[in-house]
Amino acid sequence: MDSQDIMACAGVIAACVGVVKTFKLFEPKYLPLVAIAMAAIFVLSPAPVQNAITAILVLGLTASGQYQYSKNREGK
């Protein structure tokens, strides 16, 4: 992983931790451990798996963010 990949993964991991926080799957004090576990999955996975996970998460998080944005706009 180069520095650009690391920066992209950091944003994706932060968004995923936000989703975990929203669903209250873990107590807030454990969220840093969740972030570290997600980072470990990214770093320890082979490159093709990293690319697939990144693509899935970016597409899913983007779609859910767009849905939230349009839902909030319609409510005005």
Taken in order 19, 34, 8, 52, the sign of the CA dihedral is negative
Name the pTM for this structure: 0.77
pLDDT at 5: 81
Tens of pLDDT, residue by residue over 51-61, are 899 899 989 88
pLDDT on residue 74: 65
Regions in the chain scoring below 50 on pLDDT: none
